[in-house]
Structure 1
Amino acid sequence: MHRRIPSTARTSFGATAPAFVRYTEEVLFGDVWRRETLSLRDRSLITLSALVSAGLTDQLPYHMRLASEDGLTEEELAEAVTHLAFYAGWPRAASALDIAKTVFGRDK
């Protein structure tokens, strides 16, 4: 049995968009993330890459923590973001690394 991937959708949007919550919990994390062709670790790396590349920083803290639970080390995450700097843009990578510092308690 796979571990349950917690979603913040119910807390964030439950009263406003119950269908969005249902799709998030049942389809995205209940089905898409459970397909066996890619590991959870690979899915996390792909998701982080997409978010960093698009400059979508609001979702990064959640997905960085999830990636850590899925086996991606802080060093690997930093290496992936450094690599993305050359493809997605330096400012987007720098913003992602600032978030990583906070998520992993390195901003002190």
Structure 2
Amino acid sequence: MTVRREVLGDAHVDRAVAGTTDFTRDFQELITAYAWGEIWTRPGLDRRSRSMITLTALIARGHHEELAMHVRAALRNGLTVDELKEVLLQSAIYCGVPDANTAFRIAQRVLDEEGIS
């Protein structure tokens, strides 16, 4: 839970936990233990690299509903705006221009919301 909070921020995690129901509890426990406790804590990659990989995977799979959250996480993990732009440009070639176009729109919205130019 510590890593999940560090990467996604307390506000997001608090909303996710507050929205947990008897039906979703097992899933929340699974992603906390496995994704955040096992994968994001492995020593082989730093959090910046994991964020870049995650952004690319979300773009490639069209998971736009989680992209904004992980753009914020990438910035929290130390990606600069220029590095974020490069990840999105790279994704245009390997994931497709329409997906990158959507990703740029979502990322710009996040940057605006965060007051980052």
Q: Gapped runs of 5+ residues in structure 2? A: 6-12
CA distance in 1, matches of 2:29, 2:106: 28
Query: Which of 88, 107, 117 pairs up with 1:100?
Result: 107
Aligned to 1:38: 45
AA matched with 1:89: G
Answer yes or no: is the 8 Å Cα contact 1:64–1:100 preserved in 2: yes
Equivalenced residue count is 104
Superposition deviation, residue 5 in structure 1: 2.3
Aligned to 2:27: 20
Query: Which of 39, 61, 65 pairs up with 2:68?
Result: 61
TM-score by length of 1: 0.87
Answer yes or no: is the 8 Å Cα contact 1:82–1:93 preserved in 2: yes
Answer yes or no: is the 8 Å Cα contact 2:60–2:99 preserved in 1: yes
Task: Return the structure number with greater relative CO, CA threshold 8 A, min gap 6.
Answer: 2
Q: Percent identity of the aligned residues? A: 33
Higher helix share: 2
Answer yes or no: is the 8 Å Cα contact 1:9–1:24 preserved in 2: no
TM-score by length of 2: 0.81
Q: Does 1:5 align with 2:4?
A: yes
Superposition deviation, residue 68 in structure 1: 0.6
Q: Gapped runs of 5+ residues in structure 1? A: none
SS in structure 1 of the partner of residue 37 of structure 2: coil
Answer yes or no: is the 8 Å Cα contact 1:52–1:93 preserved in 2: yes
Superposition deviation, residue 84 in structure 1: 1.1
